[in-house]
Amino acid sequence: MNYLIMSYSHKNSDLAIREKVAFISDEKKIEFSKKLLKYEAINEVMIISTCNRVEILASVKECQETLKYIFYELSEISNMPVGILEKKAEIYEDSAAIHHIFSVAASLDSVVIGETQIVGQIKNAFKVGFDNGFCSQKIARVMHHTFRCAAAVRSSTDISSTAVSVSSVAVNKAKEFFDGNLAGFSALVIGAGEMSRICAEYLIKHGVNVIIISRNIEKAQRLVDELGGTTIAEDFSRLEEFINKYRLLFSATSAKEYVINNKMVKEVDFERYWFDIAVPRDIQESCKTKNIQLFTVDDLKDVVSQNKIFREKQAGIAFSIIGKFTMEFYKWLQTLQVDPIIKKMRDMAKRSAQKELDRALKKGFLPKEQKDEVEKILHQAFNSFLHKPTQNLKKVAKDPEFDTIVQSFQYLFDINENQKKAINMYKCEYHMEQDMSNSSLQPKEK
């Protein structure tokens, strides 16, 4: 059995290719998984698909011919030549595949190192695969260790503690003016491009009601539909009204001239915090008044640079953790082989019987001339006693529950150390937590 991963990510494929190979719904994942499992060399399969990556993880009997089959099927649904798909894909096998998926879950392979969204996306992909019977014992083993590894990276490093984009730094800066808590407040995001999307994502994460304003209302609405949560789109004609109504404003358009000028600014009785993260600038500098604090890209770039350096150092620590987890995973797999466990139990039974036989002979409880006959009887007795447990152990060898059962055997018979702790290690919650707020898009207060 081999582990195999075919990967298309922001590192090896541009957006045009990722869009074609993406699985935009669970239904698409289910449909393609069924196709792959028709191939006899594929045991189990799981598909991860996000805006930045597509990962096809499979348990296979062999790799080379299986890869050809997956490329062919992927070509059929994406309408892309096999040659291009082969050229762009990164292929990982066995320990390299395990190391890769651990790295992905720990967000070391993400556009923004340390982001936490990817873990939830992997959990959701596992849920779809597991609930539909596309992945079972072999991939479940990988996933359980994947989530443990990701948790260990988060708890042992500060890789997720600092923002590394201008958008995220701007949101963190805004938090300083609200005692570190933006939940319930409303913010304007001007523009519907990538920078605006990232900014809106960070705001939503912090519980902010987001109002997206763009000259292209259709594009703004598409972004709102993508982001979900407490997000709405408003027409650009209402810009002047809104900039004088809300405290928080983030602007990231591609306009060549000012989007907000000083003539649009009205006197209000509350403090406003504006973040101009566009180049060239969206907000006229003279808009800065006694109750408007205005921050530009230059005001934030030093923080971004320092945070990137910090995260790179933390990533080094994280990779060492992932390397350790990869080795431990394969070491753990070796302990789950049935035959050595059965042999160990039989050896233990034989030693116990021999010990008691020698004791009986030494104490004179048994004549020496009967030793061979009694030894045969004892041997038949422990073989008979172990027959049913042995048969049951072999019977469940391919079931998802097997790992927990075999670890229980190991613990009960004291075959390996620390097995009591390992029994609970196999548990895994793969359901994504959704924090959907139904609150209205009204500001908490001015």
Catalytic residues: 51
DSSP state of 442: -
∠ CA 80-98-30, nearest 5°, is 45
DSSP state of 23: -
**Phi and psi of 2, rounded to 5°?**
-125, 155
CB atoms within 10 A of CB 430: 18
> How is residue 320 written in tokens?
């060492």
Q: Is 77 exposed, middle or buried (0-12, 13-18, 19+ CB in 10 A)?
A: middle
H-assigned helices in 45-156: 64-78, 82-88, 95-105, 117-131, 137-156
Residues 6+ apart with CB under 8 A from 200: 189, 210, 212, 223, 227, 231
Cα–Cα distance, 401 to 408 (Å, whole number): 11
Bridge partners of residue 53, in order along the sequence: 9
Cα–Cα distance, 268 to 245 (Å, whole number): 8
Please report where in the chains the tokens 């997956």 appear, as a residue: 70
- What's the distance, CA 374 to chain centroid? 59
Q: What would the DSSP string read from start to end of 191-259?
A: --SHHHHHHHHHHHHTT-EEEEEES-HHHHHHHHHHH-SSEEEEEGGGHHHHHTT-SEEEE----SS-S
> How is residue 357 written in tokens?
């036989």
